[in-house]
């Protein structure tokens, strides 16, 4: 897929940029849509399917997580001291022990998605290529299917699967979002 064909999916309109600000402020898709002048389903579509929108939202959320993590890290030594004191003779030894176990890695902040629009688009194309390959292999006789699973696709078949996937993804994005300048859909 030529870069120019997908440029509109790799860029954000001013309306989409404003929508990201509202989502980061904790507003719902409905509230965001009302604030920026689009239907809530448009915001939902952007959030779920638009590569540049998803990537920018993920990147901004990662920045917020990083700031929060820095603040939490500054409190770690105090928290460890409090937990040690509680374990050494406090009344809530079990709760302190559970906090320590959680801090040791049993709970983590969820990982975000792609933070670059091209990565998000490439992830979508790769997932579609895998789907194309599965559909193609499902049509093979059992013996050939087993061989295909064992050996994997040829480089030529991988290129053909990716080309088909790019067409499917481009068509789906074009159908869903149309022109990048048209923020009023939904």
Residue 109 has pLDDT above 50, yes or no: no
Indicate whether 125 belongs to any domain.
yes
Least Cα distance to 57 among 113, 6, 110 occurs for 113
Check whether residue 123 and residue 162 sit in a common domain.
yes
Check whether residue 124 and residue 89 sit in a common domain.
no
Residue 145 has pLDDT above 60, yes or no: yes
Tell me the C-alpha distance between 162 and 130, whole Å: 9
Give the residue-averaged pLDDT of 100-113: 58
Indicate whether 26 belongs to any domain.
no
Instruction: Give the domain range for residue 88.
Output: 69-115
Indicate whether 142 belongs to any domain.
yes
Check whether residue 121 and residue 171 sit in a common domain.
yes
Torsion of CA 97, 100, 105, 106, to 10 degrees: 30
Model pLDDT, residue 180:
55
Indicate whether 1 belongs to any domain.
no
Model pLDDT, residue 17:
96
> Helix crossing, 14-24 with 40-49: angle to 10°?
90
Model pLDDT, residue 1:
45
pTM of the shown model: 0.53
Residue 36 has pLDDT above 70, yes or no: yes
Indicate whether 171 belongs to any domain.
yes
Indicate whether 80 belongs to any domain.
yes
Check whether residue 129 and residue 180 sit in a common domain.
yes
25 or 81, which is more confident: 25
Q: What is the domain count for the chain? A: 2
Check whether residue 106 and residue 164 sit in a common domain.
no
Among residues 60, 91, 115, which one ends one of the domains?
115
Burial per residue of 39-78, b for 16 or more beta-carbon CB atoms within 10 angstroms, e otherwise:
eeebbbbbbebbbbbbbbbbbbbeeeeeeeeeeeeeeeee
Tell me the C-alpha distance between 170 and 172, whole Å: 6
Tell me the C-alpha distance between 119 and 115, whole Å: 7
Check whether residue 82 and residue 127 sit in a common domain.
no
70 Cα distance to chain centroid: 23
Decide if 66 contacts 112 (C-beta within 8 A): no
Residue 89 has pLDDT above 90, yes or no: no
């Amino acid at each position: 897929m030529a870069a120019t064909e997908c440029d509109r999916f790799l860029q954000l309109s001013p309306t989409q940029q404003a929508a990201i600000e509202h989502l980061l402020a904790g507003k719902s898709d409905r509230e965001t849509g009302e604030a920026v002048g689009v239907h809530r389903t448009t915001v939902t579509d952007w959030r779920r399917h638009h590569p540049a929108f998803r990537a920018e939202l993920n990147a901004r959320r990662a920045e917020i997580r990083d700031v929060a993590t820095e603040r939490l890290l500054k409190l770690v030594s105090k928290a460890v001291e409090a937990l040690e004191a509680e374990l050494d003779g406090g009344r809530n030894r079990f709760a302190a022990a559970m906090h320590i176990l959680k801090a040791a890695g049993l709970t983590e902040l969820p990982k975000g998605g792609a933070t670059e629009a091209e990565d998000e688009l490439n992830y979508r194309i790769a997932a579609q290529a895998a789907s194309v390959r599965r559909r193609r292999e499902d049509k093979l006789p059992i013996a050939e299917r087993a061989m295909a699973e064992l050996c994997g696709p040829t480089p030529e078949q991988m290129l053909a699967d990716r080309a088909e996937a790019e067409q499917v993804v481009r068509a789906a994005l074009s159908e869903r979002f149309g022109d990048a300048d048209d923020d009023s859909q939904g």
